[in-house]
Structure 1
Amino acid sequence: MQEFQVVDAAELAAAFVAARYVVRVDGDAIALEVGAPAVDLEAYCANRSYGYITAWNPASRPVPGTANAEASARLRARLESFDLELHPATSSDASGQWIEEGWLAAGIDRDVLDTLAVEFGQAGVLFWEHGEPVRLRMSVAAPDGAPDLPCVDWDCGRHWPGED
């Protein structure tokens, strides 16, 4: 399990909301947007729920490519153990610079996704139920004075080391 400290959680959440998310299904690249329904993706793979998670750069700190690849392989194995429909995905910052590989897990339970976020040191993951807008689930508490960001849920990682 990763120890996790965010210098500016509100800034990080805003960056995650603005990020680009793309899922690859049957050779097509389908974009996701936090706060919007994922109609195109849901047409390809109908399920009750969906989650996007990466294992790259735990605690939002860059690590070498080999460490990211190893973490991603461990995450894929964990996701496969839940017998989920998996599709490769990528995310990047709004400028397309900070790129991370991840997975769309169709049929994942929200609590399982939150647990995996903590296990793999991720500050935020995406989760939504069929027909609902994509939501960002932050594993940390909202800082004092954080702006109200629609479709952002805070304090979803209640099991971080050292937290009650």
Structure 2
Amino acid sequence: MDEALLRAYLATDYQVRLPDGRRASLRVDAPVPTALARWLGIRPWVYLTAWNPQSRPRAFQVNRLAQRSLLAALEGRPVLAGVGIGPDGWRESSLLVAGLDVPEADALGHRFGQLAYLHGSEGGPARLRWL
């Protein structure tokens, strides 16, 4: 893994829009914010995107279509919208999905060409998982 890319993933602010309109931020190896933990309950969770496969920029419209495909693949699951904001201002639309386990998330990550995603479970911190 490229060290600069690793630092970028670790420094990213993984924001989530809560059902009441407020925002919560996930950070790698940090506890899940209380309001978000209440929404998640005891379910495992995953924070992922279909934007910019292999961490390489691509056109907005292509990213948007891929994100819609990811959302369709998650049909029926509890999902909150998010945006990952990198330390240099990089932004990617993302999704927080409740009840998705690691094997399912790995499959989706591979399907959409992602290098990594965040995940966690009840009471645990947000973890970065490399694919």
TM norm structure 2: 0.92
Q: Contact (CA 8 Å) 1:53, 1:102: kept in 2 or not?
A: yes
Alignment: residue pair count: 129
User: Could you say what secondary structure the match of 2:28 adopts?
Assistant: coil
1:44 Cα offset (Å): 2.8
Q: Contact (CA 8 Å) 1:13, 1:138: kept in 2 or not?
A: no
The C-alpha deviation readout for 1:10-50, integer Å capped at 9, x for no partner, is 43222111111100012111111110110321123313211
Q: 2:2 aligns with which of 9, 25, 49?
A: 9
Q: Contact (CA 8 Å) 2:15, 2:82: kept in 1 or not?
A: yes
Distance in 2, matches of 1:114 and 1:98, equals 23
Instruction: State, as a whole percentage, how many aligned pairs show the same letter.
Output: 35
Q: 2:49 aligns with which of 54, 77, 98?
A: 54
2:31 is aligned to 37
Of structures 1 and 2, the larger Rg is shown by 1
Distance in 2, matches of 1:47 and 1:34, equals 19
Q: Contact (CA 8 Å) 2:49, 2:95: kept in 1 or not?
A: yes
Q: 2:84 aligns with which of 72, 91, 116?
A: 91
1:100 is aligned to 92
- Poorly superposed stretches of 4+, deviation over 4 Å: none
TM norm structure 1: 0.75
1:158 is aligned to none
Alignment-mate amino acid for residue 23 of structure 2? A
Q: What is the CA RMSD across the aligned residues, in angstroms?
A: 1.2
User: Could you say what secondary structure the match of 1:71 adopts?
Assistant: helix
Provide structure 1 residue ranges, at least 5 long, that are not aligned to the other structure.
Answer: 1-7, 140-164
Structure with the bigger percentage of helix: 2
